[in-house]
Structure 1
Amino acid sequence: MISDRPVPGYVLLTKRDTLTNAGDFLADRPVDPGSPAEFKVHIRNASLKYMVDPDLVEAIIQVESNFRSDAVSHSGATGLMQLMPGTARDLDVIDRYNPRDNIHGGVKYISELMKRFENNMTLAIAAYNAGPAAVEKHNGVPPNAETPRYVEKVIKAYHDLKIADFGAD
């Protein structure tokens, strides 16, 4: 059943910004949503297209949504990479709940931030969280309650992924 409101007796499988191809999306829905492996192909493809380290993308997804494509923040950010509506529009993301669209938009944004901050990963991560204007205003990681912890979590997840990659060889 597709509905724009909760329906007693039904479980929410997905949220969509649009109804375009909703039936196809539901029919192809994986059995184990929320698994990092489910999204690896999208991460790899977007990372190659926008020249961003896939481990950084995976670390951001882990911290932002814990691989939940239906995640919604208190501020209105949605999807795996927690894109805000305005940011998603700027990045031409049609459906923030669609894993492929969300990942491609998020990776494009990371790529733009890496260029803007001269490949300084710490500043790009901070800008992903607090916005590039906040990073520029403070000439570094904004000293608010959230962003320094966010940067630390993403960098830890990134290093953990690098260690896992190294151990897999």
Structure 2
Amino acid sequence: MVWVLGVGGAMLLPGGALAGRQREELLVDSVRTALSAAIQNLAPPIPEFEDTSSRLNHLRWLGEMSARLIKRKPDANVRREFLQTVWYESKRAGLDTDLVLGLIQVESNFRKFAVSVAGARGYMQVMPFWTRVLADGNSAALFHLQTNLRFGCVILRHYLDIERGDLFLALGRYNGSRGKAAYPQAVLGARRLWGFA
């Protein structure tokens, strides 16, 4: 099942993973080096907080998101690890957690082992060519929770930087449909489902 944005809002439709039209782009050495460094730093997803208020807000977020995700991930430990990693990798890349959760919903519907027709893998449907460009070429690593989320978040941040903060164009680039509305609208519609006050 995948989410698409229709006239009446977001709708769930049958189907597989959406990614696969991403195009391999030539990266200048400085960009490749910066992205590779971001991927290689495999610090564990342990949250750190400046104050008690921030920690309590995180715990409230974790509880609310866990309740929303329970049907997709019934095991509490799996759900907690997934959400902690989403939170960690989103913050690390300077992305909003609701954006990343919306993208994951559209890309893989929260399926860890999702594979698109074009071979994109995992939660964030990362194309295997990124492992050649940024890592050791082992595309099987894209099924590892933290590796997949790290790659996906770093790639989306890279596209946001290329597009000078234009989320619509960055999402299109992430999906390989830059300039077309369907994919960005689907992600932005799903994002609304993961908002936290």
Query: Above 0.5 in TM-score?
Result: yes
Is 1:88 the counterpart of 2:134? The answer is no
- Does residue 161 of structure 1 match 2:197? no
Do structure 1's residue 51 and structure 2's residue 94 form an aligned pair?
yes
Q: Which residue of 2 aligns with 1:72?
A: 115
Q: Tell me which residue corresponds to 2:171.
A: 125
Amino acid aligned to 1:149: A
Count residues with an aligned counterpart. 121
SS at match of 1:105: helix
Mapping of residues 144-159 of structure 1, within 5 Å = 148-159=181-192
On the 8 A contact 1:92/1:105 being kept in 2, the answer is no
Q: 1:63 aligns with which of 106, 112, 115?
A: 106
Match of 1:161, SS? coil
Quick one: structure 1 residues 31 and 161, their matched pair in 2 at CA, closer, same or farther if it must change by over 3 Å?
Answer: closer
Hey, what does 1:16 align to over in structure 2? none
Q: TM-score, normalised by structure 1?
A: 0.64
Deviations 1:60-117 (A, max 9, x none): 1010001111101111101001111102333438501011100000000011011111
| Residue aligning to 1:116 | 162
The answer for unaligned runs of 5 or more in structure 2 is 1-72
Q: Please point out which of 75, 83, 94 is paired with 1:40.
A: 83
Distance (whole Å) between structure 1 residues aligned to residue 185 and residue 132 of structure 2 = 28
In the alignment, the residues of structure 2 paired with residue 36 and residue 127 of structure 1 have an alpha-carbon distance, to the nearest angstrom, of: 29
Matched, 1:97 2:143: yes
User: Displacement of 1:32 after TM fit?
Assistant: 3.3
Contact 1:91 1:109 in 2 (8 A): no
User: How far apart, in 2, do the equivalents of 1:153 and 1:38 lie?
Assistant: 26
Tell me how far apart the structure 2 counterparts of residues 77 and 158 of structure 1 sit (CA, whole Å): 21
Q: Would you tell me which structure has more strand in proportion to its own residues?
A: 2
What is the one-letter code of the residue matched to 2:192?
Answer: H
Aligned position for 1:12: none
* Structure with more relative contact order (C-alpha pairs < 8 Å, separation 6 or more): 2
What's the TM-score, normalizing by structure 2? 0.56
Classify 1:115/1:99 alpha carbon distance in 2 versus 1 (closer, same or farther; 3 Å): same
Matched residue of 1:64: which SS?
helix
What is the percent sequence identity of the aligned residues? 31
- Where does the alignment leave 5 or more consecutive residues of structure 1 unmatched? 1-29, 136-140, 143-147
